[in-house]
Structure 1
Amino acid sequence: MTRFLRPLLCVLGLAASLAAVAQTQPIFVLNSLDANVSVVDPTSGWTESRRLPTGKEPHHLYMTPDERSVIVANANSDSLTFIDPRTAQVQRTVMGILDPYHLRFSPDMKWFVTAANRLNHVDVYRWDGRDLQLARRIPTGKTPSHIWIDSRSTTAFVTMQDSDELVAVDLPTQTLKWRVKTGPMPADVFGTADDRHLLLGMTGSDHVEVWELGAAEPKLVKRITTGAGAHAFRSAGDRRHVYVSNRVANTVGKIDLQRMALVDTIPVPGGPDCMELVAGGKLLLVTSRWSRRLSVVDTETRQLVRQIPVGKSPHGVWTLDHVRP
Structure 2
Amino acid sequence: MITASRLFRCALMVGVLSACAFSLHAQQVRTPSPATTPVTAPATGAGAGPAGSSAAPGQVSRPAQPGAKPAVATQSSSAPAPLSRKGAPVFVLNSLDGNVSVIDPATWTETKRIPTGREPHHLYLTPDEKSVIIANAGADSLTFIDPRTGEEQRTIRGILDPYHLRFSPDMKWFVTAANRLNHVDIYRWDGTNPTLVKRIPTSRTPSHLWIDSRSKTIWASMQDSDELVVIDIATQTLTSRVKTGPMPADVYVTPDDKTLLLGLTGSDGVEVYDVAGGKAPVLVRKIPTGKGAHAFRSAGDGKHVYVSNRVANSISRINYQTLAVDATFPAPSGPDCMDISSDGKLIMVGSRWAKKLTIIDVASQKVIRQIPVGKSPHGVWTLDHVARH
TM-score by length of 1: 0.95
Match of 2:178 in 1: 116
Alignment of 1:1-325 (within 5 A): 11=77, 13-15=79-81, 17-19=82-84, 22-43=85-106, 45-214=107-276, 216-325=279-388
Unpaired runs of at least 5, structure 1:
1-6
Where 2:186 maps in the other structure, the secondary structure is strand
Higher mean displacement: 280-289 or 212-221: 212-221
Where 1:193 maps in the other structure, the secondary structure is coil
Moved over 6 A (4+): 7-10
Q: What is the root-mean-square deviation of aligned Cα atoms in Å?
A: 1.3
Q: Is the 8 A contact 1:23 1:278 kept in 2?
A: no
Q: Give, in whole Å, the separation in 2 of the partners of 1:8 and 1:240.
A: 32
Where 2:246 maps in the other structure, the secondary structure is coil
Q: Give, in whole Å, the separation in 1 of the partners of 2:113 and 2:151.
A: 10
Q: Give, in whole Å, the separation in 1 of the partners of 2:309 and 2:326.
A: 14
Q: Which amino acid aligns with 1:139?
A: P
Q: Give, in whole Å, the separation in 2 of the partners of 1:49 and 1:108.
A: 35
Q: Is the 8 A contact 2:356 2:377 kept in 1?
A: yes
Q: Is the 8 A contact 1:166 1:182 kept in 2?
A: yes
Q: Which amino acid aligns with 1:186?
A: P
**Residue 24 of structure 1, CA deviation:** 1.9
Which structure has more RCO (C-alpha within 8 Å, separation ≥ 6)? 2
Q: Is the 8 A contact 2:210 2:219 kept in 1?
A: yes
Q: Is the 8 A contact 2:74 2:368 kept in 1?
A: no
TM-score by length of 2: 0.79
Q: Is the 8 A contact 1:23 1:321 kept in 2?
A: no
Q: Which amino acid aligns with 1:85?
A: P
**Residue 214 of structure 1, CA deviation:** 3.0
Where 2:83 maps in the other structure, the secondary structure is helix
Q: Deviations over 1:167-219 (max 9, x none)?
A: 01111111011000000000000000000010000000001000001364221
Where 1:156 maps in the other structure, the secondary structure is strand
Where 1:18 maps in the other structure, the secondary structure is coil
Distance 1:137 1:46, change over 3 A: same
Q: Give, in whole Å, the separation in 1 of the partners of 2:216 and 2:306.
A: 25
Q: Is the 8 A contact 2:79 2:368 kept in 1?
A: no
Q: Give, in whole Å, the separation in 2 of the partners of 1:253 and 1:217.
A: 27
Q: Deviations over 1:95-148 (max 9, x none)?
A: 000000000000000011000000000000000111111010000010000000
**Residue 9 of structure 1, CA deviation:** 8.9
Q: Give, in whole Å, the separation in 2 of the partners of 1:86 and 1:128.
A: 23
Q: Deviations over 1:156-175 (max 9, x none)?
A: 10000000000011111110
Percent identity between matched residues is 64
Higher mean displacement: 214-223 or 112-121: 214-223
Q: Which amino acid aligns with 2:209?
A: I
Q: Which amino acid aligns with 1:243?
A: Y
Q: Give, in whole Å, the separation in 2 of the partners of 1:245 and 1:47.
A: 23
